[in-house]
Structure 1
Amino acid sequence: MSDVGTEGAGGATRADPESEGPRIAESERGADSPGPEVESTVASDAFEALGNEVRMSVLRALVDDSAERGDGGGDELVSGRTMTFSELFEASPADTTAGFAYHLRQLTDLFLDAEDDEYALTYAGLQVARAISAGTYTDRVSFGPVPTGDPCPLCESGELAAVCEANYVTVACEDCERAVLTLPFPPSARRDRDPERLLDAFDRHHRHRLSVMSDGVCPECAATMDAALAAPPESVTEQLPDAEADRAQVRLDCQQCGCRLRAPVTLAVLEHPAVVSLFHDHALNVRDRPIWNVGEEWRETVVSDDPWCVRVSAELDDEVLDLFVTGDLSVAGTRRRDVEEIRQAS
């Protein structure tokens, strides 16, 4: 199995162009049931408030303080992460307390909560501070090629290697030079891992994200992830053998932040209980197979394209497991049979 599409994210901020202030109250309550009230801030105002080294030092200090105190960094402890005005001033490059007070006011409410003389990070402040510490906005990591030790599923003669350029990892065949997948990878992942552990972390990272996406939750913003089956584009089918040209592709899209993924149907069912059980019963762990090559035992068959139904099959030893995946990526049913039973039926 191969051909995982590039995943990307684009910002989408709703704002009222006629509003004079930075804050916009947006009610999402329906007529019959009370829903959440969303208070938004114009994106340009939010980023402008961050554009100063003194203010950045405040966010970093609050994150570093919680780490030094060993509170574990859990989100449930955000309200307990506090520093006083004096402590934050000492941790900053500000020259005067009057100037520092001005910078704190620019951060308060959106990035900081203030009560008496105690300051704590808001949810937005925590996310920004973590991204700064992780180098998300500042570091560009490149490495490779790193051999994966796995054969190419496209030409079956070459081996796959991973190359990272500017925080995007591409796994491609060294012989036929065709790419199996291209996916983003946080720059901080490279800091304390050797190449072998790095590829394992890359696999685990995207398995988790794919599982969350397939469940309809965006891993970036937690909005609803639209999931559907569709015919793959010509750029994908032209890389496949003629016998596999009739394929379907998983399409996962977040309409809120623009996060998206294109992948084989097999990858969307790897965590299904029936799959985990099959591998366990054969003394195997499905998680030991990397997403760039989950093994030769997998097959995909388009049963119908109107409506969509794809049969994903895995054969291990003397057993075959079939999962019937519908257009919204739900598994309508499973079937586990002996290989001999299938031969007799045919």
Structure 2
Amino acid sequence: MSAEDGEELPTASPEPSDRVSDPSDAFQALGNEIRMGILETMLEFGDGNDTDSTEATPSTPTFSALFDASEVDTTAGFAYHLDELVGPYLRKVEAGDEAWNGETESEGYELTYAGERIARAIATGTYTQRVDHPPTELDDDCPFCGRAALTAQATDNRVTVSCGHCDRRLLRLGFPPAGLDSHGAAFPAAFDRHHRHRLSLMRDGVCPDCSGAVDARLATLSSSTEDLLPAEHTDHVQAEFSCSRCGMTLRAPVALSLLSHPAVVSFYDDHDRDVRDRPIWNVGHEWAEAVLSEDPLAVRVVVELDDSVLALYVDEQVAVVDTQRASSETAPSSDGTETAETAESAKEAETAK
């Protein structure tokens, strides 16, 4: 029965998670060059990347296929290392009638989810490469001083965007080494897209690192952030997203957390613009924020394009409780002095939760 038929679909309760090994045992199994090589080979088989061979590549390689792809001298030694990976990183499956070098074996191997994650982390250099990149000039002006003096620099797989004129650091976020390597001097654009996607996921309640549940709230500025901002910005608040499972936490301006909201996307589209054209380190002077209430926290974010204004009213859980469009002549000011009615509705929405 489908949901369109007007009947409620049954809900299935998740089964308890199965802990296949202790973390110390799982990581100990990786502490060998041969085993790491097996995982890399398994990924090549699964992706069909065995370009050096004219043989058909099985999707579930057998023992013989894996052994032939290795540099191990004896099958006994190879079998020991292969068995150490079975459980947390590999599982045995039926290989059917797949042949390898004229031999047919009934058992093959597949990567588990953990095995695939580790294998891809090895391939992308997440745990093994440290990439530095010299300062790259950015086309955008500094949002604080307005000078064209922004640069992006990578140090130990972390990218810092800063202004050479006012000496302010706009942001500092990690970026996988594969991204820095493969995009070269164009890495700032890829970095921007990468973190837009991560922020959008967190706003949707999903951790981009572990897929755990994310809690969102408005938070006052930390002392370290206040020190980086001009005096006129220190009364702002930030959107804070925290994963309840892995603890990953991200803070960002409230406006930045709304870039993928449907009302914002459609507003830009109606003005023949793409909200993605402006990078996260300077989304444009058309954005403004104002605190409407401090208990509970409520914020209005305003974006102005041409002669139109979009206002988004955000409650303490960073949920948009109301949106309004108006001409620039009739739009509310950005200082929050004439929004008592909307501020009250934001409070009521927060209390109703």
Q: Would you call these one fold, judging by a TM-score over 0.5?
A: yes
Task: Say whether the 8 Å CA contact 1:57–1:91 is kept in structure 2.
Answer: no
Partner of 1:258: 247
Partner of 2:18: 39
Partner of 2:174: 184
Partner of 1:100: 78
Unaligned runs of 5+ in 2: 1-11, 51-57, 94-105, 339-353
CA offsets 1:229-257 (integer angstroms, 9 cap, x no match): 11011222233333322111111111321
Range 61-70 or range 128-137, more displaced:
61-70
Task: Say whether the 8 Å CA contact 1:313–1:320 is kept in structure 2.
Answer: yes
Distance 1:149 1:227 in 2: 32
Partner of 1:90: 68
Q: Do residues 126 (structure 1) and 116 (structure 2) align? A: yes
One-letter code aligned to 2:137? P
Considering Cα pairs closer than 8 Å and 6+ residues apart, tell me whether 1 or 2 has the greater RCO. 1
Partner of 1:156: 146
The two structures have a TM-score, normalised by structure 2, of: 0.82
Task: Say whether the 8 Å CA contact 1:154–1:239 is kept in structure 2.
Answer: no
Q: Do residues 57 (structure 1) and 47 (structure 2) align? A: no
Aligned-pair CA distance for 1:211: 0.1
Distance 2:174 2:232 in 1: 31
Aligned length: 304
Task: Say whether the 8 Å CA contact 1:229–1:327 is kept in structure 2.
Answer: yes
CA offsets 1:56-113 (integer angstroms, 9 cap, x no match): 111111111233369xxxxxxxxx8310101101112222111111111111121001
Distance 1:281 1:57 in 2: 52
One-letter code aligned to 1:51? G
Structure having the higher Rg: 2
Distance 2:123 2:59 in 1: 17
Distance 1:284 1:213 in 2: 25
Aligned-pair CA distance for 1:308: 1.4
Range 231-240 or range 130-139, more displaced:
231-240
Task: Say whether the 8 Å CA contact 1:214–1:252 is kept in structure 2.
Answer: yes
Range 161-170 or range 237-246, more displaced:
237-246
Unaligned runs of 5+ in 1: 1-32, 71-79
Task: Say whether the 8 Å CA contact 1:81–1:121 is kept in structure 2.
Answer: no
State, as a whole percentage, how many aligned pairs show the same letter. 48
Q: Do residues 333 (structure 1) and 312 (structure 2) align? A: no
One-letter code aligned to 1:250? A
Change (3 A) 1:342 1:118: closer
Cα RMSD (Å) of the superposition?
Answer: 1.9
Distance 2:135 2:332 in 1: 44
Distance 2:167 2:60 in 1: 53
Q: Secondary structure at the match of 1:192?
A: helix
Which 4+ residue blocks in structure 1 deviate beyond 6 angstroms?
A: none
Q: Do residues 67 (structure 1) and 56 (structure 2) align? A: no
